[in-house]
Structure 1
Amino acid sequence: MTTGRSMEQPIGLAVIGAGRIGSTRARVASAYPASRVVAVVDVHVDRAVELANDVGAELSTDDVRRAVSCAGVDAVLVATPEHTHTEPVLAALAAGKPVMCDTPMALNAADAAMMERASEQSGTPLLFAYTQRFQRQYQVAKENVQRGALGRILGGTVRVYNSRAQAFQILKRCPQVTPVVDVLTYWIDMVCWMMEGNPVREVYARGQGEVFRGAGYDADDLVWAVLTFTDGAVVSAGIAYALPEQYPTLGQSPRLELIGTHGALILEDERRNYFMYSESGVLHGYVPNHSLKAAYLASSSYGDWAQGVFWGPLADETRAFVDFVRTGRAITIPRAKEARRTLEVTLAIEQSARTGQVVRLPLANAG
């Protein structure tokens, strides 16, 4: 798609949400010659004002509809808490503005279906930020899977670990969410992307834990699931997000394996080869006022600020969205239909872990 602007004119963005991710995307976009931030929205207006001043935006407000309708806004970035995606997405689509929203798509299938329908009916692109796709190793892996290097994929495994320090940041922001729906979703997306055209049809899961429930959150510390795909391929998927606070990762610590009839793919992405120890502490970019004496550098899931520049997949993804709006060229950021299917898999994992029953997809209440 294209906006009708000349290629010399930067794409005007409205950024909805001035927290950690929204402010990072805004700063990346404002530093990119192909885009500028026109409006910043946050329920805390002082945050919106501060970020707008930092990135040179003309408008700071708590009114989403005002921002997405603002003259000069061509596209919208939604970076609000997980349970608040639906309203700003629908407002942007109603205004005819392409949207990239952070994950998860929603916390229930009905809201996800509503957003997907709104995108289809308006003819306006709705994309979801599965940022890990912008790690180079996964792009190269996808290229090789696509060309048939593994043959038919028979199955595999994917898992992601992290410390409870980061998990509690997520749960404090959105107590309704779980590590499965909020984080394992990235790796369900990754496996489903590698297995494109072969959707998950059945889920069986088990969960266990006491750390999060002991703190008042209805979430398992650890969940493992078996996913059966349409052609019979079997993948185990697991998450453990309650490791001790001093566990040395600064973000998601994943491993992906796929086994095919002609080959195997193993991607270990814990960054253990980038190690730092400091008596004064290594700062954690996601958890305020938290530091580690030992840490795997570059293990932040979305990237790092260094030398005044943000490096990593979130920056690449943000710029790719801008380029998509400008040129309409093909992009690996998932559309609404793909994101909804991924959400359904994570909801099925939660349902199976809760009930002890096999859950078949698509979900009966998926809208």
Structure 2
Amino acid sequence: MAIRNEIGLAIIGCGTIGRIRAIIARDYPGISWLGLCDINPELGQKLKSDSDADFFTTDFYELLNRPEVTAVIVATDENNHAAPILAATERKQALFIEKPIATDARESLQILRAIEASGVDAVMGYTQRFRRRFLAVKERLITGQIGEVHSVVTRAFMNRMVPIATVSRTQNRRHLTPMVVSGTHSLDMSMWLMEGKSPVSVYAKSTDKVMSRWGTKDSTFGIFEMDDGAIFSMNISWALPEVWPGSVYGLEVGIVGTEGVIDIEDTHRDLVMATNVAQGGGYVPDGYSAPARHVDFLTSYPPGDLHLSQLWGPMREETVSWYQRLCMNQPTPHATAQDGHRNLILTMAMDLSARRGQPVELPVDPEELMAED
């Protein structure tokens, strides 16, 4: 089938994730032009060479003003999403936004309203939706094979290299919490699997015995009540030792319905390597010396795995699917901007409940979320 629409692609942010998506773009036939932007010219020029990009600049406005640009990937640090998203929206350019949509709930609402007013197609980077096991579960739920879902339990474990890498890039760490940065993935997955149910309240608790020295929390546990009486437990800890064998994410989900249950074990312990050769981590911050790891849960790095110098796995499928969405108008399971805003509000509501030590009624006003330390 012939490509219907060619893409002039702008990628803002040339770090780990921006690099992955740019290399995939290099090999996709529907990308007719590729431009890059990063505040670090050395990093950007290196990716320009590696991806055979057509253009590089340190000014994202200069990039978005190029006449070739029809679609934009925003892959900057978490605190710096708002300005490039709004600029792309003004120019009616399709958007792929790495989560979270923002780290300020008020900015997130402003962005969502701008996207809705402009009518641009905007999706969020929730890579887990593109994994075969979760797509299989989603189909079973859509077809009613376990009846009406009434209870969901989700637990995520991560080693502490991810939060250290995240908070080391900025002093604005107030909302760089386990839930907002990483728990949002498992929350999005659970809300997607429970599609049609809306939370009406949440009660949560947090602890910071380890990660307080980096300005964030260790763990957040919470429970949501849904509008139909269902309950949803969402727990995450990203303070596991650096030597924990999971490169990034280990997830367990239990979904109980009136006619059955689906139990998902996604900890990657089914593929274990032990070796005398020291292993690297998933996201290791510059200047940070992590201890050697000699055991690894293979396939636990969320983007995928390298073979023949290519990344294979869910991030490749997610990225190519978005290119197909734009080129061929194909429906895809991407999270929407509405999903991204909802996820931010819910994760922040968990943090607010933990600070207050009492339940928070939902929906909650973004001003209320941002008013308290």
Please tell me whether the aligned partners of residues 285 and 304 of structure 1 are also in contact (alpha carbons under 8 angstroms): no
Matches within 5 A, 1:185-334: 185-213=184-212, 215-217=213-215, 219-287=216-284, 290=290, 291-334=292-335
Counterpart in the other structure of 1:121: 117
**How many angstroms apart in 2 are the aligned matches of 1:258 and 1:9?**
40
Secondary structure at the aligned position of 2:301 is classed as coil
User: Any idea what the Cα deviations from partners look like across 1:214-260, whole Å, max 9, x if unmatched?
Assistant: x240x221111001111011011100111111111111011111100
Establish whether residue 104 from structure 1 lines up as the match of residue 105 from structure 2: no
Name the amino acid aligned to 1:359.
V
* TM-fit CA distance, 1:42: 0.4
* TM-fit CA distance, 1:283: 2.4
Counterpart in the other structure of 2:85: 89
Distance of aligned partners of 1:102 and 1:38 in 2 relative to their CA distance in 1, 3 Å threshold: same
Distance of aligned partners of 1:345 and 1:8 in 2 relative to their CA distance in 1, 3 Å threshold: closer
Q: Mean Cα displacement is larger for which, 161-170 or 264-273?
A: 161-170
Establish whether residue 356 from structure 1 lines up as the match of residue 357 from structure 2: yes
Name the amino acid aligned to 1:234.
I
**How many angstroms apart in 2 are the aligned matches of 1:345 and 1:55?**
37
Among candidates 157, 163, 168, match of residue 159 of structure 2: 163
Distance of aligned partners of 1:296 and 1:99 in 2 relative to their CA distance in 1, 3 Å threshold: same
Secondary structure at the aligned position of 1:14 is classed as strand
**How many angstroms apart in 2 are the aligned matches of 1:233 and 1:37?**
48
Secondary structure at the aligned position of 2:366 is classed as coil
Matches within 5 A, 1:37-186: 38-174=34-170, 175-176=173-174, 177-186=176-185
Q: Mean Cα displacement is larger for which, 292-301 or 67-76?
A: 67-76
Q: Mean Cα displacement is larger for which, 8-17 or 147-156?
A: 8-17
* TM-fit CA distance, 1:304: 2.0
User: Any idea what the Cα deviations from partners look like across 1:144-199, whole Å, max 9, x if unmatched?
Assistant: 10111111101120011011122211221343411110110011111111111111
**How many angstroms apart in 1 are the aligned matches of 2:4 and 2:148?**
45
List 4+ stretches of structure 1 deviating above 4 A: 288-291
* TM-fit CA distance, 1:210: 1.3
**How many angstroms apart in 2 are the aligned matches of 1:231 and 1:88?**
38
* TM-fit CA distance, 1:328: 2.2
Please tell me whether the aligned partners of residues 9 and 71 of structure 2 are also in contact (alpha carbons under 8 angstroms): yes
Name the amino acid aligned to 2:209.
E
Q: CA RMSD in A?
A: 1.6
- Report the number of matched residues: 360
**How many angstroms apart in 1 are the aligned matches of 2:27 and 2:279?**
27
Name the amino acid aligned to 2:230.
A
**How many angstroms apart in 2 are the aligned matches of 1:357 and 1:307?**
52
Residue segments in structure 1 that go unaligned for 5+ positions in a row: 1-5
**How many angstroms apart in 2 are the aligned matches of 1:188 and 1:244?**
23
User: Any idea what the Cα deviations from partners look like across 1:40-64, whole Å, max 9, x if unmatched?
Assistant: 0001122222211211212100111
Name the amino acid aligned to 2:190.
V
Distance of aligned partners of 1:322 and 1:353 in 2 relative to their CA distance in 1, 3 Å threshold: same
**How many angstroms apart in 1 are the aligned matches of 2:49 and 2:333?**
32
Percent of matched pairs sharing the same residue: 31
* TM-fit CA distance, 1:9: 6.5
**How many angstroms apart in 1 are the aligned matches of 2:225 and 2:33?**
43
* TM-fit CA distance, 1:208: 1.3
- Give me the TM-score of the superposition, normalised by structure 2: 0.93
Secondary structure at the aligned position of 1:323 is classed as helix
* TM-fit CA distance, 1:366: 6.1
**How many angstroms apart in 2 are the aligned matches of 1:336 and 1:8?**
24
Distance of aligned partners of 1:280 and 1:44 in 2 relative to their CA distance in 1, 3 Å threshold: same
* TM-fit CA distance, 1:299: 0.7
Name the amino acid aligned to 2:85.
V
**How many angstroms apart in 2 are the aligned matches of 1:137 and 1:25?**
23
**How many angstroms apart in 1 are the aligned matches of 2:293 and 2:164?**
16
Please tell me whether the aligned partners of residues 167 and 214 of structure 2 are also in contact (alpha carbons under 8 angstroms): no
* TM-fit CA distance, 1:33: 2.0
Please tell me whether the aligned partners of residues 203 and 358 of structure 2 are also in contact (alpha carbons under 8 angstroms): yes
**How many angstroms apart in 2 are the aligned matches of 1:159 and 1:47?**
35
User: Any idea what the Cα deviations from partners look like across 1:70-100, whole Å, max 9, x if unmatched?
Assistant: 1222211110000101111111111111000
Name the amino acid aligned to 2:130.
F
**How many angstroms apart in 2 are the aligned matches of 1:73 and 1:308?**
28
**How many angstroms apart in 2 are the aligned matches of 1:277 and 1:129?**
32
* TM-fit CA distance, 1:34: 2.4
Name the amino acid aligned to 1:89.
I
